[in-house]
Amino acid sequence: MSFTAADVKALRDATGAGMMDCKRALEAADGDVQAAMQWLREKGLSRAAERAGRENVQGAIGHHRDGQVAALVQLKCETDFVASSERFKDVAKDLAVLVAGKGEGALEERSGDLEALKLTLKENIEVGSVVRFEAAAGNVLDSYVHVQGGRGVNGVLVELGAATPDLAHEIAVHIAFARPRYLRREDVPAEDVERERATLETISRNEGKPEQALPKIVEGRLNGFFKEMCLLEQSYVKDDKQTIAQLLSGASVVRFAQVIVGA
């Protein structure tokens, strides 16, 4: 496979390696650009490895749903400029389609493409959170992705039992904005509860609350903690007079997951 001076320059722009090193790499790889990138990396001549430690709190969420299967894939990068590019968003979407169809392990099939993307865009790009739901027969699966600046930044998957699609969608939208961490209070790790209880006790004591009243005050405030953290106890975002448990009215949340860019 032959290559041109333009190919050498493009490889140099992508990798930060010297012009002569890029020429040698293309010669060794018989003109194959991806193989040349790998050659430079193995020789320690590519600067792409330097990007691996750079903070990548930007990104986009790829989403795909097909019947009873859905997936969310967080693709991370360093800047919102790259995150908003069509190429980057297309890759995130493609990865979600791949995971929905084959499972999370299938991401290995795209490792070479991701490495090339990292070199081309000159940023620390990597896959972040990955979620795949396959709903049980009879259950309802829904998803919601909040879009900001043309890219998905907040994605939710939810599986409900004995529910309608409309209800599942309402729950998904609620989760996106209320951001619960757990389904019910029993799911909160005991050590987290005890840590919060100790903090609330200290706060209450510092406020001058009577010592004998502290246990009752702390338990009341702990209920507020659970209401913030647990989906079933949260007030519905569209009607704060009812909780999510009341909104469900006989339906049940089997599971949910949320992926947020930058979280």
The helix or strand, by DSSP H or E, that contains position 160, with its residue range, turns out to be strand 151-161
Q: Which tens digit of pLDDT belongs to each residue from 141-168? A: 999 999 999 999 999 999 999 999 999 9
CATH number at residue 113: 3.30.479.20
| Average pLDDT, integer, range 165-185 | 98
Q: What is the DSSP string of 234-251?
A: SEETTEEEEEHHHHHTT-
Q: Angle CA(259)–CA(244)–CA(256) in degrees, nearest 5?
A: 30
Residues 168 and 72 in one domain: yes
CATH number at residue 219: 1.10.286.20
- Buried residues in 29-48 as b, exposed as e (16+ CB within 10 A): beeebebbbbbbbeeebbeb
pLDDT at res. 84: 95
Q: Give the range among 65-79, 108-122, 167-181 with minimum mean pLDDT.
A: 108-122
User: What band does 15 get if pLDDT is binned at 50, 70 and 90?
Assistant: confident
Residues 83 and 29 in one domain: no
Q: Does residue 52 register a pLDDT over 70?
A: no
Given 36, 51, 66, the domain boundary residue is 51
Residues 87 and 144 in one domain: yes
Q: Which tens digit of pLDDT belongs to each residue from 83-97? A: 999 999 999 999 999
Residues 111 and 195 in one domain: no
Answer yes or no: pTM beyond 0.85: no
Residues 80 and 156 in one domain: yes
Number of H helices, E strands in the chain: 10, 8
**How crowded is residue 13: how many other Cβ atoms within 10 Å of its Cβ?**
13
Residues 29 and 100 in one domain: no
Residues 240 and 168 in one domain: yes
- Domains held by the chain: number: 3
Q: Which domain holds residue 26?
A: 5-51
